[in-house]
Amino acid sequence: MLNQLSAENSVRLRAFFDEAGYTESNLRKHLGAAELPSSQLRNRPRLFDRTSAATQLNTLLRWFWIGSAQDAQQIAGLIPDDFLALLLESGLLAAEAGMLAPRAMLLHFDGFLVASDHPTAIENKQAEMVLWPNPTSKFLSRFAVSRHSRATLDLGTGSGILSLMASRFSDAVVATDLNPRAVECARFNARLNGIDNIEVFGGDCFAPVAGRCFDLILSNPPFFITPQTDYMFCDNPMDLDGLCRRLVKEGPAHLNEGGYMQMLCEWAQIKGQPWEERVAEWLQGTGCDAWVMKGLTQNPEEYAQHRIRETSQDTSEDAANYELYMSYYRRRQVEAIHDGLFVMRRRTGQNFVRIEEVPPTPSGNLGEMVLSTFAAHDVLRENNTDEKLLALSPRLADHVRLEQVCFASDSQWKAETLNLRLTSGFAFHVTVQPLVAEFLISLDGTRTAETAIRDFAAKANAPVEKVLIECISMVRKLIERGFIAGV
Ligand SMILES: C[S@@+](CC[C@H](N)C(=O)[O-])C[C@H]1O[C@@H](n2cnc3c(N)ncnc32)[C@H](O)[C@@H]1O
């Protein structure tokens, strides 16, 4: 698909796109919305209209955004000859029958210019298409633990986007993919962006990195739970969610002590089994602490409809496809399909496993949030008795807000509830009594929990032993949730 250019020519090519105005902000301005061309969205006429003037930028947009071949004579003179030669040499363009046709899409992600296949590849049912940077890649990259890593693995690299992102904080990145086209594409993108600490290998799961260990493993694997494997980039090739289970089981052997593995996942819920149980089994005996954040839950019917709409354009196949999907789920007694993020940290000792549903649309620095959540569990483990916890000097976290909900009564606002809410990370909240809110604001990190609780009991005129027991259990929960830092 794509040919490696020399490092020098790659840098020239990248600079040419920037100079021609093929930049993220310009694209949005120029196209109205940086929406990918799609038959479902029926946006091609609008995109063609926005790019109708014969300019250099429009020529590039028609090739590398809309995915349309253009008459070589009509665009003559718009693209400098030396760059046209580079576009052809790299394989981004191909000349055929007087036309110049794009062989990749180019889009921006986090400051990188990234080549991938075009969305029309799904319409053309190309099983080995290489996925473009998309909301799932962005989601995982936001959560990535982006502290210094000696070695990072990006398993199922696709366009290489997560590797590019990780190259900024890693000494070395290894990117792997089963799809040879993805291997080529990831190598091409590393070079196009002038990155030289990424190695790319082809192969199945961890086979290309046998015997190697990493500080960070990132994976956005093909997790769709589908009866067929039409597309390598999205369809879980094993029964139900088998590939994700396999990665959870095999990943820890490739983590250094203290190293993190972060993986997006979908898993099935089988009739009669609580949703947490299936993934709890995956995590058993891995030698890792784990935090599973469950997001969306869909029933099989809506899931099937959604997936069919995403991966098949031919509506005449809808009924047969739906039947295929539903009989697959019915035979396996699938009651629901959940999506979420797995974070595992290899640690010798007794491990914790936290599996929970999380609020949508997290905000702030999510990599930091992951680290502070694991650190909070460490504090609780190291201070696993009431005596030890009472000796800590806890402090209310900076990103906690107190919200009061009132109701109208007799022309007056009456307090109904008080909620503590996190304003960064997941918007967890807890309802508290006014007295408790007062106690929590007194936790400023200068006094031990014991002193703060004893003062509070005296102020509230309450029996100190009882208050100690209740407060310490609350402090423990609030440290775990990130409302209080245990110092
Ligand atoms: C959902 S795409 C993710 C691409 C990219 N990491 C991203 O986030 O945009 C999944 C990738 O996993 C690759 N893949 C599928 N099965 C694999 C396997 N058994 N071993 C390694 N990679 C695999 C696919 O070819 C595809 O590139």
Residue 247 in contact with ligand 1 by CB distance below 6 A: no
User: Does residue 262 have its Cβ closer than 6 Å to ligand 1?
Assistant: no
pLDDT band at 339 (very low <50, low <70, confident <90, very high): very high
Work out the percent of the chain whose per-residue pLDDT is above 90: 92
- According to the model, what pLDDT value does residue 239 have? 96
- Answer yes or no: is pLDDT of 380 > 90: yes
Res 39: pLDDT: 81
Residue 487: pLDDT band with limits 50, 70, 90: confident
Cα–ligand 1 centroid distance for 177 (angstroms): 6
pTM for the model:
0.96
Q: Would the CB of 160 count as within 6 Å of ligand 1?
A: no
Average of per-residue pLDDT across 208-232? 97
CA distance 296 to 311: 19
Tell me the average pLDDT across 50-72.
96
Closest C-alpha to 347, from 375, 372, 321: 375
If you average pLDDT over every residue of the chain, what do you get?
Answer: 95
Q: Range with the lowest mean pLDDT among 62-71, 120-129, 316-325, 414-423?
A: 120-129
Residue type, 29: K
Is residue 484 a contact partner of residue 397, using CB atoms and an 8 Å limit? yes
Asked whether 162 lines ligand 1 (CB < 6 A), one says yes
pLDDT tens column, 62-110: 999 999 999 999 999 999 999 999 999 999 999 999 999 999 999 999 9
Residue 222 Cβ contacting ligand 1 at under 6 Å: yes
Which of 131, 153, 159, 229 gets mutated to test ligand 1 (max ligand atoms within 8 A of its CB)? 131
Q: Tell me the best of 189, 233, 241, 266 to mutate to test the pocket of ligand 1, counting ligand atoms within 8 Å of each CB and taking the most.
A: 233
List the one residue out of 107, 121, 130, 102 whose CA is nearest residue 200: 130
Rounded to a whole number of angstroms, the CA Rg of the chain reads 27
Give the ligand 1 atom nearest the CA of 128. 25
Cα-Cα-Cα-Cα dihedral sign, residues 465, 466, 469, 472: negative
204 lines ligand 1 (CB under 6 A): yes
Q: How confident is the model over 18-26, as a mean pLDDT?
A: 94
Report which of residues 119 and 299 the model is more confident about. 299
- State residue 33's pLDDT score: 77
**Distance (Å, rounded) from C-alpha 470 to C-alpha 464?**
10
402, two tokens:
């107190």
Q: Hey, whose CA ends up nearest to atom 6 of ligand 1? A: 157
* Cα within 13 Å of Cα(338), Cβ side: 22
Which domains, ranges and CATH numbers included, belong to the chain? 7-103 (no CATH), 112-377 (3.40.50.150), 382-485 (1.10.10)
- Give how far Cα 453 sits from Cα of 377, 393, 401, 421, Å: 22, 11, 21, 22
CA of 109 to the centre of ligand 1 (A): 18
